[in-house]
């Protein structure tokens, strides 16, 4: 088994469903433009069976082919936003937690330094 097929076999069901919807949406976009699969495939530089796989939501179709299809419907500009750091909620949450943890450590170190300088024990207020 190749690495690619192993990865594709592990796609979460929701992700697979999203890819299938994207393929179906691309087919609708092509049809709304009055283009046949043959013509659209030629414009993309792929075979008709490859376009059919894309429109069927085959996750094995390359990202480059998907990007070309998005270009044909003037949506390729959205690719730059998909994983942009400013919208990566998971990383943002980690950064906030790290900053919070750092703040707590600094506050603790500052309190300990004040106590050490004053030579007194911590109060139990």
Q: pLDDT: is 67 or 121 the higher one?
A: 67
CATH number belonging to domain 3-80: 1.10.260.40
74-118 tens-digit pLDDT? 999 999 998 898 888 888 888 888 888 888 898 898 888 888 888
Q: Where are the domains of the chain?
A: 3-80, 86-118
Q: What is the DSSP string of the chain?
A: --HHHHHHHT--HHHHHHHHHHHHHHHHHHHHTT--HHHHHHHHTS-HHHHHHHHTT-TTS-HHHHHHHHHHTT-GGGGGGTT-GGG-HHHHHHHHHHHHHHHHHHHHHHHHHHHHHHT-PPP--
Q: What is the pLDDT of residue 97?
A: 85
Average pLDDT over residues 35-48: 98
């Amino acid at each position: 088994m190749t690495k690619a097929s192993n990865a594709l076999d592990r796609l979460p069901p929701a992700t697979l469903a999203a890819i299938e919807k994207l393929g179906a949406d691309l087919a609708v976009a092509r049809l709304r433009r009055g283009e046949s699969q043959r013509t659209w495939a030629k414009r993309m530089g792929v075979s008709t069976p490859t376009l059919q796989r894309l429109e069927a939501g085959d996750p094995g179709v390359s990202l480059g082919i998907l990007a070309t299809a998005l270009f044909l419907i003037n949506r390729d500009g959205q690719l730059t936003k998909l994983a942009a750091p400013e919208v990566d909620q998971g990383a943002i949450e980690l950064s906030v937690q790290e900053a919070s943890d750092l703040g707590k450590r600094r506050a603790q170190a500052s309190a300990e330094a004040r106590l050490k300088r004053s030579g007194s024990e911590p109060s139990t207020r």
